[in-house]
Structure 1
Amino acid sequence: MADAPISSPEPGSGADVVRTWDARADDYLRLFRHELAGKPYDLEALHAFAGRVRPGGRVYDAGCGPCGHVTALLAARGLDVLGIDLSPRCVALARREQPGCRFAVMDQRAVAEPLDGLVSYYSLHDQPRSGLPATLASWAAAIRPGGRLLIVAKEGTGDGVIGDPLGSDLRVYWAEFTADELCAAAGAAGFRVDGRTVREAYADEIPTRRIYLAATRDRLTAR
């Protein structure tokens, strides 16, 4: 009897995130290890987030990827930061790249720790747009009233499986969001939006505008 074919995970599922990121983590690290050096706006946004969190505040870098550079930046600013990623390969590489920082394999869609803040730096595009409310609700439940949130995401309306933008032969899930969509979802989850900006892509980036949303866990709606 022939072996049954191995089925592929559902696109956009946690298993699919592991499949695609375990396969391309090494290439991503090679391409983006030093990306923040060429992104002054991103650096400004990350430093501003760190400045809004109390010294020593507990923060997650959600979807830290294999570089771990955002985790390292926040740790250097004096925050108690943990980089989390669903891909074991990404976490292994991040630990190697940033040996002074902490990382763990964890689903950003099921965060449960009491936090003072959370950064989502280009981590939302691996999941379907329909999952955005549940993800933000999970973050809101984990972040203390008055805690901070920073979302950086690519602008657009795409939502489905495409060829890998990084150039591999993989088919990957890719979702984009509008600023209005992110703000509405954040508000519905219990965040007060403090500011939102959009910038054009830098010359060496995928030609898609970037959204930066800064928010505070609303004390009035916290449960």
Structure 2
Amino acid sequence: MDADWLGETRTSYDTVAESYAAQTRDALGGAPFLQAALKLFADTVPPGGPVADVGCGPGHITAHLHSFGLNAFGLDLSPAMAGLARREHPEAEFAVGSMTALGLADESVAGLLAFWSLIHIPDDAVPGVLAEFHRVLRPDAPVLVGFHLGDGSRLKKEGYGGHPMNVYVHRRPAERMAAWLDGAGFTVTAHMLVGLDTRYPGGLLFARRNPPQERSY
């Protein structure tokens, strides 16, 4: 696997940003179960707190969360994606950032969404990413993780209109994702499977950041 996977991911999505946005802009409209999952997640976020959409891409999902009245903002590794999101969704805030080192204060976020944005993270880097999620979330705050269901990885060399890319796409069993969340200090509260009859089935895990452990003397 390429050592500079972050750089390759950034360059790949800078390259496909416009075509990716065009192909995914209306995708949520034909996905009632994903809509229901996002509404359920939104309903569990405490009022008023900021909600981070990590790996937001062109911002369509961030805007959907914003439509529920959430103070949702987006972060993406790709400057082109973040710029496109700002242009298309001026009602929300977007910034460039990496989920491996979130530029957010400790316990500053009331909810966090990672909607198919962990799919390019190598296995050995996932626990560190989830530790970052844990760091920025408030105690008992909800997190929703969406991912490609399955096992194994493939190198994606082009996509979204035939543009060149160089990223690995990772599929994971739900049990592995749940174990990673548990190890990072989260409690998984629900699990949803979607698209089981399609080429790319997905999994969604709802979880909460565990409150600090009370010391026993």
TM-score, length of structure 2 as denominator length: 0.90
Alignment match of 2:142 (pick from 145, 148, 164)? 148
Match of 2:69 in 1: 78
* 1:105 counterpart = 2:99: no
Contact 1:129 1:177 in 2 (8 A): no
For 1:89 and 1:214, the matched residues in 2 are separated by: 29
Unaligned runs of 5+ in 1: 1-8
For 1:140 and 1:199, the matched residues in 2 are separated by: 26
Contact 2:15 2:164 in 1 (8 A): no
For 1:109 and 1:178, the matched residues in 2 are separated by: 22
Contact 1:158 1:175 in 2 (8 A): yes
Match of 2:175 in 1: 180
Q: CA RMSD in A?
A: 1.9
* 1:168 counterpart = 2:159: no
Letter in 1 for 2:89: Q
For 1:202 and 1:122, the matched residues in 2 are separated by: 18
For 2:60 and 2:197, the matched residues in 1 are separated by: 19
Please say which of residues 105-114 and 35-44 is displaced more in the overlay.
105-114
Please say which of residues 167-176 and 141-150 is displaced more in the overlay.
167-176
Aligned partner of residue 163 in structure 2, secondary structure = coil
Residues 100 and 219 of structure 1, relative CA distance in 2, 3 Å threshold: same
> Identity percentage over the alignment?
33
Alignment match of 1:39 (pick from 31, 48, 51)? 31
Unaligned runs of 5+ in 2: none
Shift of 1:202: 6.8
* 1:121 counterpart = 2:115: yes
Contact 2:186 2:210 in 1 (8 A): yes
Q: Which runs of 4+ in 1 moved over 4 A?
A: none
Shift of 1:220: 4.4
Letter in 1 for 2:50: R
Match of 1:10 in 2: 3
Shift of 1:11: 4.6
Between the two proteins, the alignment pairs up a number of residues equal to: 210
Contact 2:185 2:210 in 1 (8 A): yes
For 2:60 and 2:207, the matched residues in 1 are separated by: 22
Aligned partner of residue 55 in structure 1, secondary structure = coil
